[in-house]
Amino acid sequence: MAETAEEKVEERERVLDTPMDKEFDWAKKDDKTPVRDALWDHYMEADGRDTMKTEAKMHPYLDMSNDEVAANAEKLLKN
């Protein structure tokens, strides 16, 4: 049976909605920030708090696979 649109979105966004400490073993143990918000905060700082630039950089994450989201988040956020 084919997945519904909602199921596809739910699966695709799983990593984006997971708390940092649950998704990455390198994250702080009590970091409950969703990956989506951590990426947003990263881009906001990098873009001089320009919401439009940050939104444009976040938009591609909606079409990425979970593995791509995780790899990009690790590359950008891991210290």
* Structure confidence at residue 60 (pLDDT): 96
* Structure confidence at residue 13 (pLDDT): 60
* Structure confidence at residue 1 (pLDDT): 61
The three-class DSSP label of residue 48 is coil
Nearest to 57 by CA among 32, 34, 36: 36
Tell me the per-residue pLDDT of 9-65, one tens digit each, with 9 for 90 and over.
566 568 999 999 999 999 999 999 999 999 999 999 999 999 999 999 999 998 999
Helices (H), 1-79: 5-12, 20-23, 35-46, 51-58, 66-77
